[in-house]
Structure 1
Amino acid sequence: MARTVYLVPHTHWDREWYQPHELFRWRLVQMIDELIAHMESHPEYRCFNLDGQSIVIADYLELRPENEGRLRALIEAGRILIGPWWVQPDEFLPSGESHIRSFQKGIRFAERLGGSLRIGHCADQFGHIAQMPQLMSQLGMTSACLWRGVPDSVPGWSFWWEAPDGTRLPVLYLRNSYSSGWRLPKNVDDFIERIRRQERDRRDDEPALLMNGTDHSRAELGVPETIAAARGRGYNIRMATLAEYERAMFAAGLDETVHRGELRSPDRSNVLVGVLSARANIKQRDFQVSAAIERYAEPLDLLSWLHGGPDALPALRQAWRLLLENSPHDSICGCSVDQTHREMFPRYDRAEQLAHQVAREAAAHLVARLEVPAAGGLVTWRPVPHASATFECQVPGEWEAAALRLPSGDEVPCALGPIVPGEVLQHEEVSPRGAGRHLDFIREGRYDVHAVEGVTWELDGRHLRVETVVGEAVNVVDDATVREEVREIGANNLADTAEVTVRTSSRRTLRAVLPPSRAVGLDLITPGQGGTGAAGAGAVIKDTTRTSSPGAWCSPHTVSCLKCTGMGSRCRCATCRSWRCPPGSTPSARAAPGRRPPR
């Protein structure tokens, strides 16, 4: 019986390597343009495996959006296969979570265009992590298809790969690489000899495989003619997809060999171990940005959203996309030309910017919902449970504490560094209305490039002082109310002159070692026995489902009053926005005669 030979046309497309991304993308566009046109006019060229990653399709469509319909038709017909990865990453250097996200994004993208390959195609990764069978199985992969890292102890062309948790996944072993059928010889005898080299250690009932492609290769358009010329030479040669080869291998029966753990052997292929330390700054940035997204931005955003916060999912998706674009093996491994690696750092920067902003906004939303302790406090984020933490932060200069009180009631010692005085960034004499215009520059908790830590006003006779304190801390600041009150002062002619000041607060460094926490989450830390802090946020999530009627007392009352004499009176409700002065308050001389009191 003639052996069936599955000839799989494909390409392996490194997005960036010995050329930077845009140059490779232009080559990709030319390749896919040619492929689409040929497949539409030549039905005998029945299929093409467009690598195991979907991002190359997105790269193509960004430059050729007009061809989406033509490409979609070929994918839906099963003639062009894409997915399941988003990018084909190095498996050891990026985080494990990034592999899950790459599969999820790749499969979703491919399904939207007509369908995703369900074989974990790992054409050229420099070895494979032990958990990959577990990840692939849980994400719906039916097998893995790979080349590098398989040891000599695996004798054949297939085996079972076992993860540490016991998950087993069948492997279609590309024993002679993913280029075994590239540049098929025109001479039929030479072609038959190429096939015979793929029979070594094959069982008689087992199909053979020729991978017709390599790195950045265009489709060999004459494959159908080459196959036709070899008819009657002892083989049943089929132009096929990887999925069809998988079905044939399953029908023939896989080898019973089981490999447990990593695949990092150099027995049959180079696994380029030197890339683990090449360009170490790339690895460091990847770790930093991955942690910013996975340990801070995403969990904080989820907690915030569960408590009524804004949806930051679009920003997180973009951060992940930028991070994943740096995880392919030729990118993060540091084995490409200098320009390729220079272009990686702006992606890391942009992803980190989004992660930090999402984390900051989510933390601000959560802190705003916390009860404020009288002694002030610090809200800390514990990104890892069951682990102690070295805690270091900047606190206001007036902090005095030899210990910190934890939510459990236990205290831990702390050390405070010397006070670093604040700096005046701006001081200007303005009109009372100019003071209001100055406050218009406070937007979304920021003044210029600084985070706003506090905004206050003071009326000394008919002279108005407005002070904005800026820094890096996440503080709950009701700048809208201060802005409204300052405008009321100008509109009611309560001041003749004004001055505005923007300054940084005095700071000092606090250091402590925190014991392990029981879970990921926010902890309130307050000054220990006898210590003093600054006004801050508490740790109990408030019930915001209750409503207040106009004029009723609500909690907290946090805004100084314009109606009565007490400059520090808490007479306006921050919830219902109504004014109610304490009984016995005397009218303020600051209220202009005949004018309606502010509401």
Structure 2
Amino acid sequence: MSTPKAIIHVISHTHWDREWYMPYEAHHAKLIQTMDGLLEIMDQDPEFLSFYLDGQTIVLEDYLQVYPEKREKLIELVQAGKLSAGPWYILQDEFLTSSEANIRNMQIGHRDAKAYGPVSKLGYFPDSFGNMGQAAQILQQAGISTAVFGRGVKATGFNNSVSEALDLESPYSELHWESPDGSRVLGILFANWYNNGMEIPEEPAAARKFWDNAIANASKYASTPHLLLMNGCDHQPAQANLSAALRTARELYPDYEFIHSNYDDYVAAVQSALPETLSTINGELRGQRTDGWYSLVNTASSRVYIKQLNQENQTMLEKIAEPLAAFAHVNGRPYPHGLLNYAWKTLMQNHPHDSICGCSVDEVYHEMKTRFEKSKGVAAAVIADSLAHLSAQIDTASFASISSDSAPFVVYSTSGYAQSGVVTVELELGRRYFKPNESPMNNSKYVLEHTTAEGYLVNYLGEKLACTSVDLGVRFGYDLPDDKFRQPYFARVITVTFETGALPAMGYSSFAWIPAAQSAVAQPSSLVAEENTMENAYLHVTVAGDGSLTIKDKRTGETFDGLGVYENVGDIGNEYIFKQPDGDTAITTRGLAAQVTLVEDTAYRATYEITHTFDIPEQADERLKQEIATMVNFLDRKAQRSEKRVPITIVTRVSLSRSEEGVRVHAAFHNPAKDQRLRVLFPSGVTTAKHYADSIFEVAERATIPTEEWVNPSNCQHQSAFVDVHENGRGLTIANKGLNEYEVLRDGSGTIAVTILRSTGELGDWGVFLTPDAQCLGPNHAEWMILPHGGGDSRFTAYQQAYGFQVPMQVSQTGVHEGSLPAQQSLLEWSAAGSGLALSSVKINEDRGDLIARWYNLSGEPAELTVSSQSHGRLYESTVLEDANAAGAGDLGTDGSAAVPVQGYKIISIGMSAR
């Protein structure tokens, strides 16, 4: 038998956007119809061999939500290889979800898939808007050796000629994809997209036309005789007559082999026939060798409020709830696996790319806000229970020697780094419970008469601390005991604001409010150096007349001028893509007189409030409405900004605390305008050709100047916690909370521009879908931190502070009691020889109950990680799937401590078994 010219692998699938141009339930109803039709085809057609469920288990979960009685049928099909399960829970946007969210997505996807049968071991990224640089390492640790993706690389070549494309990313749809640590997977690009085999004709004449085109296009980039035809598209039902269509193809093209294939068979066939000349691409796949218009990076600034809610939710789960629950578990409390799994799933239902990217219809975001609140509510309950359990075991008895009425509380720092910060705690004094037959008014009066709001603050050593207290009066509260009915009470409530002093990494420290007549406390000098100026041991900060900041780094002598100017321009693009009107000139606050007021001057912090009011165009002119309605491509739009202007007022609070090495900034404004973008500018004075941005398990090095192919005037990029520029002893890191878009301008000043608002009125893409809520009218806010540094290894200290900026300290009031835990302690001690290690997560493994902690090396240089836990014996290297042992790795230590070498850019997970 002669060898066929090519083997055509037809893989049936549907790309399932859970919500997008319709609300979730409309898509859900469509999913039920699609799955019903698929199951019917599989029952009736023995030649219809398999269907790929888009790499996400939530498709099965959503189907069973309506038809739970069909679970056994789905299990039967998955075990028979006719349906796929996993490897993900949902198809996320990789850059807009955190490092740990990407891992939880893989973990939950694998766990849920195993309940049906074999897990699909394919790194499936069909429509991610760019791909993370550490994907190959994550996949390899999960036992996955092949990734399939649709964006980020433009395959280029002529007749598969490698020699003519050596300077390009890849001449083929097949390539080696390598992470910075050297981990490598086979990458397969949908060079003809994931719908190149949809709706295959059965009728011979139409079939010949279809196949002539499809085979030619697939052959153009394939490096092997195995050609991939994806039979499906977005929300595409299974093709009922596919078997007949393939029979027609076999009759028309006897020299080709047509297979109704699956990914396992297709990948195995490709791997067996790969040439030796494949290109290797290292790191991120972000479409940088394109014209720059369709990288879709501006989804990072669509509906900024959604990104802020997501950052808050992720942080609550992975940086607060999980580690606190883990430490409570180590100290005797059951770990709430079920609750945390539910909270993660609810959060991740907001992580599909069209959801978290902000590029769906308005109804989607109404539901997303509800999901965020649900997930955050569960996280808050886990945090409160864990804090109460831990605090009850901390020895606070020493405070009794100061006063029998002491009100102890514990401050927890779970960012992973030793830090000091300013916190505000609400304390209840004189709690008095009452019964239904008692007068609430009398009980309230009793508390008021028998308590005082006066007092002073001490730390666990008994040292008095400078603080500010506010009496909030008597307030109702209640307990929900484990063993009795709810217990209502009244208590006097005060707030106490102070600076904690150094807290241990992943640890806590105890404090107490001592009710008493006001007692003098030694007050450190004010941080206000002179008018409109603040200063601590690290920084000298001056607020200029236009509200911009001049910051001198006292450690390096470097000065940064003009920081924090606001910039406003028009935007006639859509939720996917920013497009400034032709000839549009930016409106800025540079040189605009601002109102500057000192609003806080305490021993621990100084804050200036800066108020800007300026006029901006109310919206785009009427032409934009017409262009949207008639689907004029955004590149061809001629709309301008309207002549009518409206005032916008931005109130910015700039704070410097005594012990922090950065300046905290909070901006609040009421957005009155449409079709616009608002950014804040930070001239760094660093003009290097590269910069650095926090991404998924790495600080990615990126080019400031785009490639020759890039014609988009804008070169915006993704960030997670921060963006950084540095060179020759001068560096500037800008940290953020949920501000995922930045640009380093090519202006000669190395200006970092961070987007804090983008207002658009349409979804974009394939139809006319108006999105008035995406204009983000009304109240908005943004938070960032300015961190000067000296470049070199000092940047890693700034990065740690940027990570800590996103993680608020937690406070828990407790009683005066003895306990098994000391008044101050690190619950997980770790250190690094070499400054580039970052702590990612601390949690409890669901299968074994072991503590799992994960770090990653931000540097290309090797480091040594030292870990110590008093509650654990055996330490072992694990993986992102939390295997008991990584391949080839044995015990790291059996006495609760270990020193572990960590190669450059490596992600390392360490399991710890209880003693």
Q: TM-score, normalised by structure 2?
A: 0.49
The aligned counterpart of 2:180 is 164
For these two proteins, the number of residue pairs brought into alignment is: 471
Distance 1:289 1:537 in 2: 33
Q: Secondary structure at the match of 2:114?
A: helix
Distance 1:121 1:378 in 2: 47
8 Å Cα contact 1:405-1:527 kept in structure 2: no
Structure 1 residues 537 and 312: CA distance shift in structure 2, 3 A: farther
More helix by share: 1
Distance 1:530 1:313 in 2: 48
The aligned counterpart of 1:523 is 509
Does residue 382 of the first structure (1) align with residue 413 of the second (2)? yes
Structure 1 residues 324 and 448: CA distance shift in structure 2, 3 A: farther
Structure 1 residues 45 and 395: CA distance shift in structure 2, 3 A: closer
Per the TM alignment, residue 233 of structure 1 is displaced from its structure 2 partner at its CA by: 4.0
Does residue 221 of the first structure (1) align with residue 240 of the second (2)? yes
Q: Deviations over 1:129-170 (max 9, x none)?
A: 111111111112121110111145121011111112221111
The aligned counterpart of 1:108 is 111
Give the stretch that moved more between structures: 368-377 or 140-149: 368-377
Pairing 1:496-535 to 2, within 5 Å after superposition: 502-512=489-499, 514-515=501-502, 517=504, 519-525=505-511
8 Å Cα contact 2:503-2:509 kept in structure 1: no
Q: Deviations over 1:530-577 (max 9, x none)?
A: 979x9845795259xxxxxxxxxxxxxxxxxxxxxxxxxxxxxxxxxx
Structure 1 residues 418 and 230: CA distance shift in structure 2, 3 A: closer
Pairing 1:576-595 to 2, within 5 Å after superposition: none
Per the TM alignment, residue 307 of structure 1 is displaced from its structure 2 partner at its CA by: 1.3
1 or 2 for the larger relative contact order (CA 8 Å, sep ≥6)?
1
8 Å Cα contact 1:524-1:539 kept in structure 2: no
Distance 1:10 1:39 in 2: 13
Q: Percent identity over the alignment?
A: 30
8 Å Cα contact 1:149-1:270 kept in structure 2: no
**Which of 29, 33, 51 matches 1:30?**
33
Q: Deviations over 1:64-118 (max 9, x none)?
A: 1122222221111101112111000000111111111111111121121122210
The aligned counterpart of 2:170 is 154
Per the TM alignment, residue 514 of structure 1 is displaced from its structure 2 partner at its CA by: 3.1
The aligned counterpart of 2:285 is 263
Per the TM alignment, residue 418 of structure 1 is displaced from its structure 2 partner at its CA by: 4.0
Q: Secondary structure at the match of 1:422?
A: strand
Distance 1:212 1:85 in 2: 21
Structure 1 residues 266 and 218: CA distance shift in structure 2, 3 A: farther
Q: Deviations over 1:565-590 (max 9, x none)?
A: xxxxxxxxxxxxxxxxxxxxxxxxxx
Does residue 365 of the first structure (1) align with residue 389 of the second (2)? yes
- What is the letter of the counterpart of residue 208 of structure 1? L
More strand by share: 2
8 Å Cα contact 2:459-2:465 kept in structure 1: no
Distance 1:27 1:144 in 2: 28
Q: Deviations over 1:425-444 (max 9, x none)?
A: 59xxxxxxxxxxxxxx7422
Structure 1 residues 124 and 393: CA distance shift in structure 2, 3 A: same
Larger-gyration structure (1/2): 1
Does residue 541 of the first structure (1) align with residue 820 of the second (2)? yes
Distance 1:100 1:65 in 2: 28
Structure 1 residues 276 and 538: CA distance shift in structure 2, 3 A: farther
Aligned-residue CA RMSD in angstroms?
A: 2.9
Q: Secondary structure at the match of 2:107?
A: helix
Distance 1:421 1:35 in 2: 62
8 Å Cα contact 1:367-1:537 kept in structure 2: no
**Which of 246, 253, 277 matches 2:267?**
246
Q: Deviations over 1:43-70 (max 9, x none)?
A: 1111111111010110001101122222
Structure 1 residues 507 and 63: CA distance shift in structure 2, 3 A: same
**Which of 301, 304, 315 matches 1:277?**
301
Distance 2:359 2:318 in 1: 26
8 Å Cα contact 1:385-1:516 kept in structure 2: no
8 Å Cα contact 2:90-2:351 kept in structure 1: yes
8 Å Cα contact 2:13-2:230 kept in structure 1: yes
Distance 1:105 1:210 in 2: 29
Distance 2:381 2:128 in 1: 33
Does residue 133 of the first structure (1) align with residue 136 of the second (2)? yes
Q: Deviations over 1:384-409 (max 9, x none)?
A: 233424231225534414xx546xx6
Pairing 1:52-71 to 2, within 5 Å after superposition: 52-71=55-74
Per the TM alignment, residue 188 of structure 1 is displaced from its structure 2 partner at its CA by: 3.0
Does residue 394 of the first structure (1) align with residue 425 of the second (2)? yes
Distance 1:446 1:284 in 2: 39
Distance 1:175 1:516 in 2: 52
The aligned counterpart of 1:416 is 467
Q: Deviations over 1:364-400 (max 9, x none)?
A: 1111112223325431111123342423122553441
8 Å Cα contact 2:56-2:109 kept in structure 1: yes
8 Å Cα contact 1:374-1:535 kept in structure 2: no
Give the stretch that moved more between structures: 294-303 or 229-238: 229-238
The aligned counterpart of 2:258 is 237
8 Å Cα contact 1:372-1:538 kept in structure 2: yes
- What is the letter of the counterpart of residue 258 of structure 1? T
Distance 2:84 2:359 in 1: 28
Per the TM alignment, residue 326 of structure 1 is displaced from its structure 2 partner at its CA by: 0.5
Q: Secondary structure at the match of 1:524?
A: strand
Per the TM alignment, residue 295 of structure 1 is displaced from its structure 2 partner at its CA by: 1.4
8 Å Cα contact 1:422-1:503 kept in structure 2: no
Distance 2:426 2:201 in 1: 73
8 Å Cα contact 2:129-2:296 kept in structure 1: yes
Per the TM alignment, residue 423 of structure 1 is displaced from its structure 2 partner at its CA by: 2.2
Instruction: Give the gaps of 5 or more residues in structure 2.
Output: 155-167, 400-405, 428-452, 523-812, 823-915
8 Å Cα contact 1:85-1:107 kept in structure 2: yes
Structure 1 residues 41 and 539: CA distance shift in structure 2, 3 A: farther
Q: Secondary structure at the match of 2:351?
A: coil
Per the TM alignment, residue 324 of structure 1 is displaced from its structure 2 partner at its CA by: 0.7
Distance 1:12 1:150 in 2: 20
Structure 1 residues 541 and 192: CA distance shift in structure 2, 3 A: same
Instruction: Give the gaps of 5 or more residues in structure 1.
Output: 427-440, 453-467, 469-501, 544-599
